[in-house]
Amino acid sequence: MRADEEGIKEAGAIAAAGGLVAFPTETVYGLGANAYDGEAVKRIYAAKGRPSDNPLIVHISDTSGIEELADGVSENARKLISAFMPGPFTIILKKSERLGGAVTAGMDTVGIRCPENETARRFIKAAGVPIAAPSANLSGRPSPTKASHVTEDMNGRIDAIINGGDCSVGVESTIVDASREIPVLLRPGGITYGQLKDVVPETEIDPNILGSLDENERPLCPGMKYKHYAPEAEVTVVEGGTDAVRKKIAELLERNADRVCGVLTMSENTYDSAVILCAGTTNREYAKNLFGCLREFDRLGAELVFAEFEERDGYGLAVKNRLYRAAAHRVIRVGAAEENKEMDHL
Ligand code: TXA
Ligand code: MG
């Protein structure tokens, strides 16, 4: 449905009545339902095929809505809220009694986000209730950054999609746990670690952000333990300086000449006999384009994808966090770092 006044009003009414509505935000499209309606929230998990132990973020149209959702806001939390909300930022706080168990998957904390996107905020306002929403993809697939991605995954499973065009950030919000004394960055996203530290210098970083977890470990951010953002193709990250990366990928293409190969580039590099998509030359552009490119490689039938990567700005951490997961941690470092010996099968 269109992101005009009438469309948004209708979408708000559908959500208020217990329906599921996909809506644009500046990060990725969300799949929203009334956060106070336990049955509607359960339907989100069913539509996505999402494990029930993975909590949802609650979206509000104005930061004044934090009061009824959270129980106690520390001084550091207050600073983060006033610096980054509205924006591509989610804050974890102790939850209030008002929220049922399904939204938070039984945790005693809640993730709260106030998007900057005007359509998102008008939709939440029209619904008249806080909106619980994960990204609007099937569980495990790349997050949707266009309305057409939502249709691909959710057609027939939900009640409405508000078409608000392309998402400007392209990766999900930065999540910070501020329910404890020292804030901890749990998921890098549209707000960089540098920006967080400018506001609360002692902010820490969850070591799981770039690591692969043991099956039995329970991370601070439950979603981090699942295989994520994975396209059909087998993705391998080749990380380092431009020339070394180009040389390594050319070699890999030659070795895999019998397969349909794709390359995701961040330079002018071109390669023979491969499907080439450009993610952009900055990490910020890479973040915006990554999920769409992963979906596009599937559409083009790529079996193997080699992704060029070099850390160039504050968005590098957010890109790496998604890229390493999409690649199931198949990372080859060239240039300064030693090549990973586990990659010999390629
Ligand atoms: O940008 C975004 O954050 C998008 C848009 C739609 O707002 N939403 C999004 O939701 O990415 P989702 O469900 O795909 O990812 C939410 C992540 C999950 O990894 C979940 O485990 C974590 O947030 N999370 C939610 N509540 C939490 C809590 N109370 N404590 C720790 N992690 C939490
Ligand atoms: Mg998600």
Residue 131's pLDDT is: 98
Residue 311's pLDDT is: 95
Confidence of residue 341 (pLDDT cuts 50, 70, 90): very low
Greater confidence (341 vs 319) lies with 319
Dist. CA 301 → ligand 1 center (Å): 30
Average pLDDT over residues 9-23: 98
The total number of residues shown for the chain amounts to 346
Domains and CATH numbers, the chain: 5-210 (3.90.870.10), 234-336 (3.40.50.11030)
pLDDT tens per residue across span 139-148? 999 999 999 9
Answer whether 212's CB lies under 8 Å from 280's CB. no
Answer whether 134's CB lies under 8 Å from 277's CB. no
What is the residue with the minimal CA distance to atom 12 of ligand 1? 134
Backbone angles phi, psi at 64, to 5 degrees: -65, -20
Cβ atoms < 10 Å from Cβ of 4: 10
Kindly state the DSSP code that residue 142 receives in the 8-state scheme: P
Q: Which of 203-217, 280-294, 309-323 has the lowest mean pLDDT?
A: 203-217
Q: What angle do CA 166, 172, 178 make, to 5 degrees?
A: 145
Closest CA to 306 of 257, 248, 258: 248
Ligand nearest to the CA of 221: 1
- Residues sharing a CB contact under 8 Å with residue 215, sequence separation 6 or more, in sequence order: none
Nearest ligand 1 atom to alpha carbon 133: 6
pLDDT tens per residue across span 100-135? 889 999 999 999 999 999 999 999 999 999 999 999
Closest CA to 109 of 73, 144, 153, 157: 73
- Distance CA(317)–CA(314), nearest Å, equals 7
Neighbours of ion ligand 2 (CB under 5 A): 135
Ligand nearest to the CA of 138: 2
What is the residue with the minimal CA distance to atom 20 of ligand 1? 223
What is the residue with the minimal CA distance to atom 31 of ligand 1? 221
pLDDT tens per residue across span 196-209? 999 999 999 998 88
Dist. CA 186 → ligand 2 center (Å): 14
- Residues sharing a CB contact under 8 Å with residue 71, sequence separation 6 or more, in sequence order: 93, 94, 95, 96, 97
Closest CA to 184 of 194, 175, 173, 195: 175
- Distance CA(32)–CA(15), nearest Å, equals 7
Report the half-sphere exposure of 41 (CA within 13 A, side-chain side).
23
Q: What angle do CA 186, 335, 246 make, to 5 degrees?
A: 95
Statement: residue 222 has pLDDT above 80: no
Got the DSSP string for 182-228? Answer: S-EEEE--SS-HHHHHHHSTT-EE-GGGTSPPPTT---SSGGGGS--
Percent of the chain clearing pLDDT 90 (strictly above) = 84
Dist. CA 134 → ligand 1 center (Å): 6
- Residues sharing a CB contact under 8 Å with residue 266, sequence separation 6 or more, in sequence order: 278, 279, 280, 281, 286, 308, 309, 310, 312
- Distance CA(251)–CA(264), nearest Å, equals 15
Nearest ligand 1 atom to alpha carbon 172: 1
What residues flank ligand 1, with Cβ below 6 Å? 25, 27-28, 30, 54-57, 90, 92, 104, 107, 109-111, 113, 133-135, 172-173, 175, 186, 220-224
